[in-house]
């Protein structure tokens, strides 16, 4: 099992925001708070005392992110290689046995996310726990940017990205990955709704 403060959490804010017209998504306001800061605050609210350190993965406006009070690290991979670059950056700077990844654009993610993902490691064979949640069509699907993984997977991830790999699920498929379902009674079906556009962000603000 995972002990107190053994998890480092990274907020993924390194994308180019193309569907937001190139805006820096993590700095867009959600109810008056930048999305990345809102994610940090939501991590602080997680049940239990599992998270021992926080960081942000960002590639521009670094001063604005640094003002949020946690370490900020740009991608170590070039050319905006996607969320998996954020995973790799997080692992490179992780000093705890586990790394939790959350995106900056999903402001309603479950407040018991950390605890429920951590429970998957009661089986010592588990290497990665990935959230699965309902989507608008009613189907429950994997949410690959919400992962809790062993930090000793860095070497595997570096080898995968050096070979040109960029898809999260192709890499996680190489390891013992457990899907943790967030579609149970009492779970908010909107918890994993994300904002790729300003219009979608406006909708989330009204929920």
User: What local confidence, expressed as pLDDT, does residue 19 receive?
Assistant: 80
What residues make up the domain containing 68? 7-206
User: What local confidence, expressed as pLDDT, does residue 156 receive?
Assistant: 98
The verdict on residue 119 lying in a domain is yes
User: What local confidence, expressed as pLDDT, does residue 8 receive?
Assistant: 98
Consecutive 10-residue averages of pLDDT for the chain (207 residues): 94 87 93 97 89 97 98 88 93 98 97 97 97 91 98 97 94 98 94 94 90
Q: Taking the complete model, does pTM exceed 0.85, yes or no?
A: yes
* CATH label of the domain that carries residue 55: 3.90.550.10
Domain count, the chain: 1
The verdict on residue 54 lying in a domain is yes
The verdict on residue 80 lying in a domain is yes
The verdict on residue 1 lying in a domain is no
User: What local confidence, expressed as pLDDT, does residue 63 receive?
Assistant: 98
The torsion angles phi and psi of 196, rounded to 5 degrees, stand at: -90, -20
The verdict on residue 2 lying in a domain is no
What does the DSSP 8-state code read for residue 112?
A: T
């Amino acid at each position: 099992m995972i002990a107190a403060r053994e998890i480092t959490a990274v907020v993924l804010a390194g994308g180019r925001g193309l569907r937001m017209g190139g805006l820096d998504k993590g700095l867009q306001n959600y109810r008056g708070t930048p999305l990345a800061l809102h994610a940090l605050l939501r991590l602080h609210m997680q049940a239990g005392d599992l998270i021992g350190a926080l960081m942000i993965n960002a590639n521009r406006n670094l001063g604005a992110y640094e003002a949020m009070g946690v370490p900020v690290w740009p991608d170590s991979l070039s050319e905006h290689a996607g969320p998996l670059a954020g995973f790799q950056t997080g692992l490179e700077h992780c000093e705890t046995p586990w790394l939790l990844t959350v995106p900056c654009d999903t402001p309603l993610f479950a407040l018991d996310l950390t605890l429920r993902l951590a429970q998957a490691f009661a089986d010592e064979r588990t290497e990665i726990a990935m959230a699965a949640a309902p989507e608008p069509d009613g189907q429950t699907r994997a949410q690959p940017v919400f992962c809790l993984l062993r930090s000793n997977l860095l070497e595997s991830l570096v080898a995968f990205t050096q070979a040109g790999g960029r898809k999260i699920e192709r890499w996680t498929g190489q390891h013992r990955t457990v899907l943790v379902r967030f579609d149970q009674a009492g779970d908010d079906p909107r918890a994993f709704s994300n904002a790729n556009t300003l219009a979608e962000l406006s909708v989330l603000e009204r929920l």
